[in-house]
Structure 1
């Protein structure tokens, strides 16, 4: 009997839709006010530009690795190949180790944001909010419990909802007639000093969170058609599109609402629509924002479910995660496990706690180590080994490493220590696991 296997059914359009729906989510609607408050003025737009710049630079690293190693699991394969046979096993194990914690945190953060924003329409209370966030995770797992071709079509449908929502928000600001006012005043009161640099660093932690997901297609590498072309293209198209949408959305909101309201409103986009079109329009807009949040969780959960599967299939993780559904050909054990942990996290945490924890946990192993691995692989194999080549190598890689170090520091000492603790715990588990395996031989 033939063993089930992943099939390449995801097109460039579907890959771009998966990336963009993952990137938008509830993040920009919640983070918008936090960034404005942190920057203390119209210069908050610079934080969104900074997030876009980092995303473009880092996408160069992902594009080279994703096009060359188009397999399920993304970073798991990149770290293993980049650091070589011995160190690569440790680094790839650490990536899966932290993924089993931070992936459910990502899913939970969107679910928590969804339930929080739903409070604009329905005052849910503490237990109602928890019930909605937990129920959202369960619904996502249910929808993902099917073959990848169907999921690709669902992703395009959800993506269309994302574009409609953003178009309405941006169109409202343009129709209001003062769309370019925030841009004209972007430098009002701006001083290029340590205070500004510090504020930009803290604000960029939040904007970068809103851009994350541009690499989701790499986790689905084994299911992408013509991966050497479509993986880099989908990432660069996604980042370009989302950058334009984010900047226009922020400008649009700031052109209508006074800055103090932008900086302190928990439902800033809904209130923006309410000013333009009244309470009913605001409620409709809130429903569309919730659609966007739902789409993001759908896309993120899809990508993350492939990581434990890839590691288990490679013999580096528990074998049970290597199982594919016998008829629908997707890693159902991995999906169900991550969904279960995300469900628990959605009941335990608050959105602000989760955002910094996600970044601090990812940066060392996934982003910085992955970039270092690309440099090491280039030295061993030569530049011709790669299926896609970034311009001006190695400058984008070096810049990415430096910026990620800055973002890591900006998450704060508490989160830095938490990320380091998870990594150290992973190293200890890896050593114990390796010794147990040797003793059994």
Structure 2
């Protein structure tokens, strides 16, 4: 039986809500833009689909590992909680320092700006004048809804996840209709883009990044009903749905635009819809992308706030941020702080570089987060586990080794960004000890 403190979160999320969080946390703007980048690193439609299938299978392996971790420790905070228990407070703080204070608000600022850009395009507002005010308004609105508790946030999230799935479905249908019975041409080789095996392997980087975001449900695990049963189901169902959507969307791009057309496109979703419906089609997909990005922001704010709250409760962040409102069961101060910092980054326009700097830290967090599974299996060998990842230790090893390889490849491709990411993580060490000293003085 789980025991919860008096100020614990209320478990109000059912399996449907949890699965929608998984889907909404993964599907943002990437699937509408990244396929063109992947196509430029391949020489046929078959290779494009193979890469998205491989990326999906690798991500599913990671998701199954997160399902066991979430079932073992169904508490708010996700990776932060696993690192704290397995490796101590300092490694957990370094993850929280990198993610909750930089990556989460940075990604919210970046995606909120993208939402505002597509929103302004869809309704005819001049982007140069209105992008920042609309982005700030979106962040403030999302924070305001979440202040009323997880149910209000879940309702909003479910609506926007259904809308983004509708946008993906529209893309798939449009691509298949444009193919006009020549669906096999989508897999054909394109001599315009002869690439090496190294380039093909490097194309897995943007694929995996587009599959990222599956960990947000674990950040919210303290609010999931019957978590030992619900978390594995929701993670598996949600991620399987994402893989199907991504493979079908890429097949539609290839069928409607061809490999060369996809590789040459800067906005494949808009180009596909424009071919099908004219400029009105581009406007429709702009609305779909706006819904998709808005939904992602809602999940990132909710999940990031739970990490901040857990850090505050542990005394490695402002103590006030560790409070959970007794009436709404929401981390209201943590939500306000995260939202305020995201607004500052949005107005300053400095979020893109921050995201580049913290990408390595984010994926290192996944490596060490799933690495805690080996610690739990060793130290709690006799404890009954409500869910165990199949093919252990093969699946976690495959995920850890592959993702670490992706990190190395990313560091080789952009050594400056990787170096800054490691520097930001290292800077957290003196911050941690300085904060501990300051906290002790305050207590005294």
Partner residue, 2:286: 286
In the TM superposition, what is the alpha-carbon distance from 1:179 to its structure 2 partner? Answer: 6.6
1:24 partnered with 2:27: yes
User: Is residue 190–residue 260 contact of structure 2 (8 Å, CA) maintained in 1?
Assistant: no
In the TM superposition, what is the alpha-carbon distance from 1:129 to its structure 2 partner? Answer: 3.0
In the TM superposition, what is the alpha-carbon distance from 1:274 to its structure 2 partner? Answer: 1.4
CA distance in 1, matches of 2:191, 2:398: 29
User: Is residue 97–residue 428 contact of structure 2 (8 Å, CA) maintained in 1?
Assistant: yes
- Between 400-409 and 138-147, the greater mean CA deviation after superposition: 138-147
Equivalent residue in structure 2 for 1:9, among 3, 8, 12: 12
Partner residue, 1:379: 378
Partner secondary structure for residue 257 of structure 1 = helix
User: Is residue 19–residue 237 contact of structure 2 (8 Å, CA) maintained in 1?
Assistant: yes
Partner secondary structure for residue 305 of structure 1 = helix
Equivalent residue in structure 1 for 2:75, among 59, 71, 87: 71
In the TM superposition, what is the alpha-carbon distance from 1:326 to its structure 2 partner? Answer: 4.5
CA distance in 1, matches of 2:276, 2:429: 54
CA distance in 2, matches of 1:123, 1:268: 22
CA distance in 2, matches of 1:351, 1:258: 34
In 2 relative to 1, CA 108–436 (structure 1 residues): closer, same or farther, beyond 3 Å?
closer
Structure 1 segment 181-200 matched on structure 2, within 5 A: 181=184, 183-185=186-188, 195-200=196-201
Per-residue CA distance 1:358-399 (angstroms, 9 max, x = gap)? 4212122x2111122221232222164533111111111211
1:218 partnered with 2:234: no
In the TM superposition, what is the alpha-carbon distance from 1:315 to its structure 2 partner? Answer: 3.2
Partner secondary structure for residue 388 of structure 1 = coil
Instruction: Give the aligned length.
Output: 432
Structure 1 segment 229-240 matched on structure 2, within 5 A: 229-240=229-240
Partner residue, 1:149: 151
User: Is residue 179–residue 251 contact of structure 1 (8 Å, CA) maintained in 2?
Assistant: no
Partner residue, 1:108: 109
Q: Note the residue ranges of structure 2 that are not aligned, 5 or more in a row.
A: none
Partner residue, 1:403: 402
In 2 relative to 1, CA 383–4 (structure 1 residues): closer, same or farther, beyond 3 Å?
closer
CA distance in 2, matches of 1:348, 1:31: 26
Per-residue CA distance 1:211-232 (angstroms, 9 max, x = gap)? 1222211111110011111111
In the TM superposition, what is the alpha-carbon distance from 1:9 to its structure 2 partner? Answer: 0.7
Partner residue, 2:64: 60
User: Is residue 4–residue 327 contact of structure 1 (8 Å, CA) maintained in 2?
Assistant: no
In the TM superposition, what is the alpha-carbon distance from 1:24 to its structure 2 partner? Answer: 0.7
In the TM superposition, what is the alpha-carbon distance from 1:143 to its structure 2 partner? Answer: 2.5
In 2 relative to 1, CA 208–357 (structure 1 residues): closer, same or farther, beyond 3 Å?
farther
Partner secondary structure for residue 271 of structure 2 = helix
In 2 relative to 1, CA 436–385 (structure 1 residues): closer, same or farther, beyond 3 Å?
farther
In the TM superposition, what is the alpha-carbon distance from 1:350 to its structure 2 partner? Answer: 7.7
In 2 relative to 1, CA 65–273 (structure 1 residues): closer, same or farther, beyond 3 Å?
same
Partner residue, 2:53: 49
TM-score (norm 1): 0.89
CA distance in 2, matches of 1:210, 1:109: 15
User: Is residue 35–residue 206 contact of structure 1 (8 Å, CA) maintained in 2?
Assistant: yes
In the TM superposition, what is the alpha-carbon distance from 1:352 to its structure 2 partner? Answer: 6.5
CA distance in 2, matches of 1:347, 1:153: 28
In the TM superposition, what is the alpha-carbon distance from 1:175 to its structure 2 partner? Answer: 2.4
Q: Note the residue ranges of structure 1 that are not aligned, 5 or more in a row.
A: none
User: Is residue 43–residue 192 contact of structure 2 (8 Å, CA) maintained in 1?
Assistant: no
Per-residue CA distance 1:145-200 (angstroms, 9 max, x = gap)? 21212222222222221221111111112223247335532697998x9x323443
- Between 293-302 and 147-156, the greater mean CA deviation after superposition: 147-156
CA distance in 2, matches of 1:258, 1:273: 14
Equivalent residue in structure 1 for 2:85, among 43, 68, 81: 81
In the TM superposition, what is the alpha-carbon distance from 1:276 to its structure 2 partner? Answer: 0.9
CA distance in 2, matches of 1:225, 1:35: 39
CA distance in 2, matches of 1:260, 1:422: 40
Equivalent residue in structure 1 for 2:142, among 140, 143, 163: 140
TM-score (norm 2): 0.89
CA RMSD of aligned residues (A): 2.6
CA distance in 2, matches of 1:406, 1:130: 37
